[in-house]
Amino acid sequence: MATRNRVIYQSEAVYTTVDAGISGNQCAPQAVKDLQRVQSANYGFNVGRTDVNQFGQLGAIDRIITESPSVSFDTSYVLASMTNERRLGFYVTPSGAEGPFRSCISNLIDSTNNAYQRNFYILNAKEGKDADVTLEVSSTGQYESIIGIGNAGLTSYSVEGSVGGFPTVSVAAEGMNMGFHEVTSVGATGTAGTTPYISGINPVINPIDGQRVFPKATTKASHTATSANVALPMPTGNAGGTTAATKAAGEISVLRPGDIRLFLAKQASDAIGTAATATDMTNPDYAGVDIADAHIQSFNISFDLSRSPIEQLGTKFAYARLIDFPITVSMGVDAVVSDLTTGSLAEIIDCDGLFDARIQLNSPECGATAGADAAANYILKGIKLDSQSFSMGMGDNQSVSLSFSSQIGGPEQSGLGLFMSGYTGHIDG
């Protein structure tokens, strides 16, 4: 491998396995997809060691690995659609449909075929070359190396948007293995052999002995479901379309702050599981700030998927890293106050009502009509107000910070938790 001076953002592309988790054929055309609009990617590993000491010697005679190694990975990207969310394994309802509501983590808690685990790949192009290019199948000199993170599970998700900035998503994951290898070949798949791919090595390991699940393939011809190889498609980039059809397919360059709307409504009933109507979502009724008249400055939604390793005697790695329940989702809103509704803290405490909220990010299509399908929706149901704080200083506008939270329910709980919808048209093809 030739010596290079540095690695910058132009030379890297980030991928994740789709649907099949770690158990499916990662040489199939749709098994691995790149994440779009990536702004950062960080990864590393920690190895826990225990000192072995004895009487008669001051220093340790050895330092033994007694805990499963932990591989960390996190990335952030500018929100352009819900394509990345779908590729990361979240359940996303197609744009234009208000339901059926299904918890966004439904797929992430499904242990069938290890669907809750995924692999991540970081592709490195050679210095001075873009990773995202239209590449001829015969070209083998564009890419240099691949970093693979195997047996990974998501550990956190957050999205935020503010005046003057693009909405941004941050995701973190934790895996069991990390592999580094050179790109040795570029090939083609498909009936006509016209779909280019980059040859890599699957980082999935067997938790019992720490060895690769599949035998290592040595040639392009051995890319099969029973090989350790993976076929990374060429990075797509998705520069964004100009028509309504291309935008509906998920080809949007970025979602703008001016296209973000927030709806907040008190549920018609305080019973958990009661769905708000469309009218409720546009006519809020609660004590404090009237969100319809408040000038929203920023919002954030976040939740953690903390995982506990489950170990057993005779294994080198934890055989599973399962999510710790319950899961709490939080939403924060900052706004400039323009009006106050009637009510008091005593009424909030006494009634302690449930709210539904929707963060709607509209497609930036020129001339789009009101009520058009949103490119991305975050719907929170059954949330409660945790705090409300006002602030004002000399020469400043009065502002308010609202904090809400709820637990995320299971796949059958349609009236509680966090739900996602939007364009995912670029997921297949």
Token pair, residue 337, equals: 């106050």
Token pair, residue 249, equals: 């397919």
pLDDT value of residue 342: 55
pLDDT value of residue 398: 84
Q: What percent of the chain has pLDDT over 70?
A: 70
Minimal CA–CA distance to 149: which of 18, 8, 22? 22
- With beta carbons less than 8 A apart as the criterion, state whether 286 and 353 touch: yes
In the predicted model, what is the mean pLDDT of residues 168-189? 84
For residue 84, pLDDT over 70 is answered with yes
pTM for the whole thing? 0.85
For residue 36, pLDDT over 70 is answered with yes
Rounded distance between C-alpha atoms, residue 348 and residue 368, angstroms: 39
Choice between 290 and 126, residue whose per-residue pLDDT is larger:
126
DSSP summary character for residue 87: H
pLDDT value of residue 221: 54
For residue 170, pLDDT over 90 is answered with yes
Q: What is the pLDDT of residues 47-59, one digit of tens each?
A: 888 999 999 999 9
- Number of helices followed by number of strands (H, E) in the chain: 4, 23
Q: What is the pLDDT of residues 393-417, one digit of tens each?
A: 888 888 888 899 999 988 888 888 9
- With beta carbons less than 8 A apart as the criterion, state whether 397 and 339 touch: no
Amino acid at 397: N
In total, the chain counts a number of residues equal to 429
Band (369; pLDDT cuts 50, 70, 90): very low
pLDDT value of residue 23: 61
Q: How many C-beta atoms lie closer than 10 Å to residue 25's C-beta?
A: 15
pLDDT value of residue 225: 47
For residue 21, pLDDT over 90 is answered with no
Token pair, residue 193, equals: 């052999």
Rounded distance between C-alpha atoms, residue 102 and residue 22, angstroms: 23
Token pair, residue 129, equals: 């070359």
pLDDT value of residue 278: 44
In the predicted model, what is the mean pLDDT of residues 389-395? 86
Lowest mean pLDDT among 175-189, 341-355, 377-391: 341-355
Angle at 281 between CA 277 and CA 284, to 5 degrees: 120
pLDDT value of residue 292: 55
- With beta carbons less than 8 A apart as the criterion, state whether 374 and 95 touch: yes
In the predicted model, what is the mean pLDDT of residues 246-275? 68
Mean pLDDT of the chain: 77
pLDDT value of residue 310: 81
In the predicted model, what is the mean pLDDT of residues 253-282? 65
In the predicted model, what is the mean pLDDT of residues 71-93? 93
Lowest mean pLDDT among 32-41, 153-162, 340-349: 340-349
pLDDT value of residue 394: 86
Domains of the chain: 9-45+60-80+112-233 (2.30.110), 258-427 (2.30.110)
Token pair, residue 74, equals: 């996190």
In the predicted model, what is the mean pLDDT of residues 328-357? 73
For residue 240, pLDDT over 90 is answered with no
Token pair, residue 404, equals: 């809400």
Q: How many C-beta atoms lie closer than 10 Å to residue 372's C-beta?
A: 16
